[in-house]
Chain A
Amino acid sequence: MELVCRDTGELRLIKVAEDRIDAAVAIQFKDLVREMTEDGPMRVVLDLSRVTFLDSSGLGAVVAAMKQIGAGRKLELAGLTPNVEKVFRLTRMDTVFTIHPDVDALGLGLRHAG
């Protein structure tokens, strides 16, 4: 499982460089996000634009990731593909997370951020 992490100003962006977050990788995903959010900016955005499939284990891992980054910090989501968005909507987890259409919508000028 590959996650790519970079900071742009007051925000840490974690891109999931995988097609799937499912039962096979859920625990690994949760552990990697924890390692990547042990320090750094208060605001963390998870870029899911590469992910085409998320099952309930993967959803649980995303929820666990949000819970473990701790009080006062936020985990936001960006770039949900249609089938992933469906899982969030049906479980109503779309009401729990701040969800951005894509990373560009964050207005970070990422093209110039390296």
Chain B
Amino acid sequence: MLDRSGAVMVRDSDPSTAGAGFRPARFGLAFPGTAGSVRGALTTVRSALRGMGVPQETCGIVEIVLAEVLNNIVEHAYAGNAAGFVELDLERREGALAFEMRDWGHPMPGSAAPDGQPKDLEVPIPDLPEGGFGWHLIRSLTLDLSYDRTGSANVLRFLVPLNGVATLQ
């Protein structure tokens, strides 16, 4: 039975070498793939990143990316009667944060992550798009994104550079 409270369970914060001044390089958590869990998960990740010494701007970028990925999981992978957990692992590497996110919902359409083409804004105001920005944001803010369907799991991997500004445009 899923915990609908939005509780987040920390799975791994790499305590093996904990000590004075130690900054963990890895972090993992699991939580229900429900709309009510997203804010709590984002808050938990932000705290973990601060503990890892990640710059504030990068924390902000990560929050945008994770919000879009998680909203997609909640609204699409776990749409309808599907329900399940989300697992998130992150690791601090040289110059980037590496993320792996797993869910057990519906596969991505076409077995591929959307390419996130920007929306056409050269239209009259009543025709402006009100959605479909998510994958464009994800693609703009990440590197080396890959999607795999492994058994019944969707596995999304990507990097967020630690020097976010230089790589954005």
Contact = CB atoms under 8 A, between A and B. Distances in A.
Interface residues of A, number: 25
Interface in B141-169: 141, 168
A108 B38 CA distance: 39
A64 B127 CA distance: 10
Contact of A60 (B35, B57, B125, B133): B133
A87 B57 CA distance: 13
A111 interface: no
Contacts, number: 78
A56 B128 contact: no
B39 A24 contact: yes
B33 to A, nearest CB: 13
A83 interface: yes
The secondary structure that dominates the B interface is: helix
B126 A87 contact: no
Contacts of A64: 130
Contacts of A60: 129-131, 133
22 contacts: A22-B39, A22-B67, A23-B38, A24-B35, A24-B38, A53-B60, A53-B67, A55-B67, A56-B68, A56-B134, A59-B133, A60-B131, A60-B133, A63-B129, A63-B130, A67-B125, A86-B168, A87-B133, A90-B136, A92-B118, A96-B121, A96-B125
Interface of B: 35-36, 38-39, 57, 60-61, 63-64, 67-68, 71, 74-75, 118-119, 121, 125-126, 128-134, 136-137, 140-141, 168
Given A67-B128, A83-B64, A87-B137, 17 more contacts: A22-B67, A23-B38, A23-B67, A24-B39, A57-B71, A61-B130, A63-B129, A63-B130, A67-B130, A82-B57, A83-B61, A90-B136, A91-B119, A91-B133, A95-B121, A96-B121, A96-B125
Interface of A: 20, 22-24, 53, 55-57, 59-61, 63-64, 66-67, 82-83, 86-87, 90-93, 95-96
